[in-house]
Structure 1
Amino acid sequence: MSTAVPVHLRRARVGVSIIFFTNGIVLGGFAPRVPELRDQLGVSYGTLGIAMAMWPIGALALGLTAAAMIRRFRSSRVATVTMVFSAAAMLAAGLAPNVWTFGAALFVVGVTDAWVDVAQNAHGLRVQRLYGRSILNAFHALWSIGAVAGGLIGGLSAGLGVAVPWQFLGGLVLVLAANAVAYPMLLAGPEPQHAGEEGADETALPHPQHVPLRRIPVRTWGLLGALTVIALAGGWAEDAAATWSAIYLRDELLAGATFAALAFVSLQGFQFVGRLLGDRMVDRWGQRAVARWGGALVAVGMGLALAIPTSWGTVLGFGAAGFGIATLIPGAMHAADRLPGLRAGTGLTMLSWLLRLAFLLSPPVVGAIADATSLRVGLTLVPVFGLLVVALAGAMEGRRVPAPSR
């Protein structure tokens, strides 16, 4: 028999969804303007890739402080406040007069985005545990639809000739207003001290003894490594769409500015659909099977799009990749948060930090390959990661067998 969800939990779910949505808009609005920003800065693919890498470098440099910040200030405060700072740093990147200040602004974007990422997922997991069923994929679906909205806004702005700083200023105003609305809706009280099942009174939860890092079993580290590669596959495909898809369509397939935004929109749109269906798919078939089939879809979809390069084929290929990676990052985060022997938030923070490697390595690696050969060749790493997901999906949870009724 189903139990009605308390009003405060429904409100908290809406509040978390708003944060995810605005986080998606910031990245989504940036991606279609990358070709224009490259032209304004007057840099090569490789130099642009290095500058773009400052985003994940910032996340890697200070992202691990997120867990301590959340324990000190609460995930609700960290998520909403740093989301505003992230949008402000994005505006600074849009105003950058040269590649050095552009890279410095992206460094700050990376730091604040990492804090937002961990905090919004930590709060989302709190809400999910109190719901008693999977809802994390739905939060990530809101991120995806936010990215679609941002991508459409960015593509239309580029086609209409709206200056980049004006678009990013509008994004900052939207983020500020939305997060001011979201904060009062979030869960009250301090963070729970462990990631187990939470009761109504979270502050009364016991604090189980955690295992020191040096005593963590090798198998746990191996699982964390496999989960990281799976999450990296999702991140690599997302970055390929965000950083390179518009440039690839414009420079190599000769698409117009507005059409060039459609590959990113396609990936995020199909990712949204996949995440909207993701919780039910995971409950029915298990995260392991969903991830394995998703990896295969990435490998086949992007592989065919790159083997037979056309504008619409590229858009559809990125769409297939978006559906395939839809549950990879939230599923890996959920599994990492439940790794035995780690303090609350530690596995999630470590995986989120390591996930930034995808966004660190992808821009300079793909940019260097593009300068030496072509962007088409550089993008072939996306289907390669799809095959890795197929191979490593065993690290994910299988289908849960319902407990027999008594």
Structure 2
Amino acid sequence: MTSSPARATTPPHLRRARLGVSVIFFTNGIVLGGFAPRVPEMRDQLGVSYGTLGAAMAMWSVGALLLGLLAAPLIRRFRSSRVATLSMVASATALLAAGLSQNVWLFGAALFVVGATDAFVDVAQNAHGLRVQRLYKRSIFNAFHALWSAGAVSGGLIGGLSAGLGVSVGWQFALLLAVVAVANAAVYPMLLPGPEPQHAGEEGADEAAIPHAQHLPLRHVPVRTWALLGALTVIAIAGGWAEDAASTWSASYMRDELLAGATLASLAFVAMQGCQFVGRLLGDGMVDRWGQRTVARWGGALVAVGMGLALAFPSPWGTIAGFGAAGFGVATLIPGAMHAADELPGLRTGTGLTILSWLLRLAFLLSPPVVGWIADATSLRVGLTLVPVFGLLVVLLAGAMATRKAPAAHQDA
């Protein structure tokens, strides 16, 4: 009952900022979504094995790892709004170059640039979204990630239909670049003005009501804080590993091992992102009601059971259902872990978020080649069993997440 007045009195500039951040998340998702269904076709075009493809795909994460830590100083220097929108256009441009590549070296080089610019977008859009959420003084962060999932679903459908209709990768990626450029130019004026806050308290109370001390030199940050950041990172990696399994390998698994056609093969990724979208739409309400810890623990169990059964009893539609269950299960893991990392006491705003994002990129670096090498040695089905294993890790580590918020936290909303 307390939410209605808060919504009614939300200033127009905050509503515009929320819409602007939502569009950036959507365009970020549509680029990856459009890429995933075309991976089997690009592998055929390059004439490489699963292992070689996985190594080339890992260049996405290499770029993010080598340059991703520049995101925080870039944001402090140029503002999260500028970094997010300009990097989004640069990322889509580099992805077009990857789609047009005729050899694996150019393909990997283009993905290196995609990874670096996508890392800038990732940190900047989340940092700006957290700014908006603090001013809203209620949970809206999962909704931003829901828009990412909606973009990924839209991109996946576009990619699957384009593949089925014989539209070239180059033409599809050029269309996506045009959409991204126009959309980001349009929403930039809607975003919050001014420099980034030095700590969360400068722009309203923290949603989780975690007290912020003065930020400390990294060598003086308590061991417990680093341990919590480590657990949060593993939880985020579990969500990311499932997402990468869907975006990198689901279409190949469906086509090569389950003998599905191109359009049907794309539906595993679409199911993953579609159910993740639903989970993120419901996520803020679920977290407010039960707490991030409970939601994460049940989500990890759903990943473990859903993907475990799909891989134990393989079929095209069972696999689609399994990826859908995983998508719903991981829906709140990455946004929840990012939120908690950004609020860890003793760390400067953006530091915990940047470290977690960087380590998440390290997992994305390892995921494609590890699964690819396992697939070359055995099968993709075996390689994908790591997804339910990570689901079990979430169940074990969910204690690092926040419990249900105290009622007093709602009085300011």
- Measured against the shorter chain, the TM-score band is over 0.9
Which stretches of structure 1, 4 residues or longer, exceed 6 Å deviation after superposition? none
What does 1:2-401 align with in structure 2 at a 5 Å threshold? 2-3=5-6, 4-196=9-201, 198-199=203-204, 209-401=214-406
| Counterparts of 1:92 and 1:57, CA distance in 2 | 17
Displacement after TM superposition at 1:107 (Å): 0.2
Contact map agreement 1:232 1:357 (CA 8 A) in 2 = no
- How far apart are 1:209 and its partner, in Å? 3.5
Q: Distance in 2 between matches of 1:208 and 1:218?
A: 16
Whole-angstrom CA distance in 1 between matches of 2:356 and 2:12: 32
Question: What SS does the aligned partner of 2:249 have?
Answer: helix
After superposition, the CA RMSD in angstroms is 1.4
Aligned partners of 1:79 and 1:120 also within 8 Å: yes
Structure 2 unaligned blocks of 5 or more: 206-211
Kindly state the Cα deviation for residue 198 of structure 1 after the two structures are TM-superposed: 1.5
Structure 2 counterpart of 1:153, one-letter code: I
DSSP 3-state at the match of 2:88 = helix
CA distance, structure 1, for counterparts of residue 76 and residue 169 of structure 2: 37
Q: Paired residues, what number?
A: 400
Which one-letter code corresponds to 1:194 in the other structure? H
* 1:90-133 superposed Cα distances (whole Å, 9 cap, x missing partner): 00000111000000000000000000000000000000000000
| Partner SS state of residue 142, structure 1 | helix
For residues 106 and 200 of structure 2, the distance between their equivalents in structure 1, rounded to whole angstroms, comes to 40
Alpha-carbon deviations, 1:236-267, whole Å to 9, x = none?
Answer: 00000000000000000000001100000000
Q: Which letter maps to 2:383?
A: G
- 2:233 and 2:99 map into 1 onto residues whose CA distance is 31
What is the identity percentage for the equivalent residue pairs of Structure 1 and Structure 2? 81
- The question of whether the paired residues in 1 share the 8 Å contact of 2:238 and 2:394 is answered with yes
> Any idea what SS the aligned residue of 2:408 has?
coil
Gaps of 5+ in 1: 201-206
Distance 1:245 1:34 in 2: 10
Separation in 2, partners of 1:153, 1:209: 47
Cα distance change, pair 107–367 in 1 and its aligned pair in 2 (3 A): same
**Residue pair 1:194, 1:208 contacting (<8 A) in 2 also:** no
Q: Is the 8 A contact 1:195 1:345 kept in 2?
A: no
| C-alpha separation in 1, matches of 2:16 and 2:214 | 33
1:68-93 Cα shifts (integer Å, max 9, x gaps) = 00000000000000000000000000
Give the Cα–Cα distance (whole angstroms) in 2 for the partners of residues 210 and 243 of structure 1. 39
Q: Deviations 1:284-335 (Å, cap 9, x if unpaired)?
A: 0000000000000000000000000000000000000000000000000000
Check the 8 A contact 1:129/1:197 in 2, yes or no.
no
Q: Distance in 2 between matches of 1:145 and 1:90?
A: 19
The AA in structure 1 aligned to 2:183 is A
Contact 1:45 1:368 in 2 (8 A): yes
Amino acid at match of 2:194: G
SS of the residue aligned with 2:403? Answer: coil
Contact 2:59–2:111, Cα closer than 8 Å, also in 1: yes
1:261 aligned counterpart, secondary structure: helix
| Pairwise CA distance, 1:358 | 2.1
SS of the aligned residue for 2:201 comes to coil
TM-score by length of 1: 0.97
Measure, in 2, the Cα distance between the counterparts of 1:266 and 1:32.
12
